[in-house]
Structure 1
Amino acid sequence: MPLNAQTLHTATFAELLADTHRTAVHLEMRDVYAVGDERKDFESFLRTGVPNLDPARSFWPQRTPLVQDAVTRRVMMRRARIVSEPVTDYIRYEHAITPLNLQAGEDVRWLPRRRASDIALPGNDFWLLDDRVVQFHHFTGTGDWAPDCRERTADPAAVALCAAAFETVWERGIPHEKYSVPAS
């Protein structure tokens, strides 16, 4: 799919990812998310302390094939998370379900927020695809999707900021298998 002004704003994320050939990176910077597709699993985790690691349940059946397809096409998929410590219950949950990201083919790193103070970061979480398009995510103060939950741009300055921020976070980040969630 040729990227132009119209497809940039009308394509689904799945279509943009299908047109990605080298890299797809995602930076998460919030300590609490309250998005609807995770709500039941998160509530269950809070009650039981046991994560839902079944990729055929919850929101994973829609997401996993997208990641696996990209990885099969040799797209390097990386996710970095900046987190406050001690972590919130949501970050404990997110850490516990990260094996699903890894099984799908993503590489994941964690960066304690205190080690990110000197990094120029954009104001919102984002996906950066092939260093050509950024999809910012907008959330409400409580962590749910905002009404205008996504914003896309191919602006070179925004792409450069996001690429530099992600690479710095990635370089400082701790691989998932080495990062232990500090006790509250």
Structure 2
Amino acid sequence: MTPISEAEFDSLLRTFERDSLHLETRDAYGTAIELPYMAKWAAGEPDDLAWLGDWCSTLRKHVKAGKSVRRARIVSEPLSEYQRWSHSIAGPMVEAGEDIRWVPRRLVSSVPIPGNDFYLFDNRLAVFLIYTGGGLNAAMLSSTNPADLELCRSAFEAVWHLSIPHCDYQPV
């Protein structure tokens, strides 16, 4: 596996050719970008979600070009505070074309899943997201190893088969 920089990862998010698959397996994250907005939400303060504008614009471009962007979130129920917040802000991304789905963790007990969250770009490049115990991103590792690609593809599709579309998922 090869470490990649945030700039390289950002480029991959914007330049894949056909599809981007993203599997999230953690109940909480602590990304530097998200933490201030989550804190506002927790305090009951309004958020116009303008900070999501760039990503939503990118999503609309992908959809217009015929590309697919899918995200599956494996979540424990009842949802963690992070996942409740995440559910509350997903609407603009779904409206922009990202197919976000939710999977209660109890449904994936027998699904082989990689040890880390990942993106799979065009079934040719996997990027594993390595997090600290507190949910901060510690590293990103890329792989073109056929075994890694197959594990990611099969795990994602198995989870996707069990998933609930964002518009139908009722947080517990």
Answer yes or no: same fold by TM over 0.5: yes
1:23–1:51 Cα change, 3 Å: farther
Q: What whole-Å deviation, never above 9, does each CA across 1:92-136 have from its counterpart, x for those lacking one?
A: 000101102212210011000000000000011111011000111
1:133–1:87 Cα change, 3 Å: same
Taking the TM superposition and a 5 Å limit, the aligned residue runs for 1:4-153 are 9=4, 12-48=8-44, 52-54=47-49, 56-57=50-51, 60-146=52-138, 149-153=139-143
* 1:108–1:176 contact (8 Å) kept in structure 2: yes
Highest RCO, 1 vs 2 (Cα 8 Å, sep ≥ 6): 2
| CA deviation after TM superposition for structure 1 residue 51, in Å | 6.4
* 1:21–1:74 contact (8 Å) kept in structure 2: no
| CA deviation after TM superposition for structure 1 residue 18, in Å | 4.0
Q: What whole-Å deviation, never above 9, does each CA across 1:60-114 have from its counterpart, x for those lacking one?
A: 2442233222222111110000000111100100010110221221001100000
Whether 1:159 aligns to 2:149 is yes
1:103–1:122 Cα change, 3 Å: same
1:169–1:44 Cα change, 3 Å: same
| CA deviation after TM superposition for structure 1 residue 47, in Å | 1.0
Long gaps (5+) in structure 2 = none
Count residues in correspondence.
171
% identity of equivalent residues: 37
| CA deviation after TM superposition for structure 1 residue 15, in Å | 2.6
| CA deviation after TM superposition for structure 1 residue 9, in Å | 4.6
- Aligned alpha-carbon RMSD (Å): 2.0
Range with greater deviation from structure 2 (13-22 or 152-161): 13-22
Structure 1 Cα separation of the partners of residues 135 and 123 of structure 2: 27
| CA deviation after TM superposition for structure 1 residue 13, in Å | 2.4
Long gaps (5+) in structure 1 = none
Structure 1 Cα separation of the partners of residues 46 and 127 of structure 2: 28
| CA deviation after TM superposition for structure 1 residue 23, in Å | 1.1
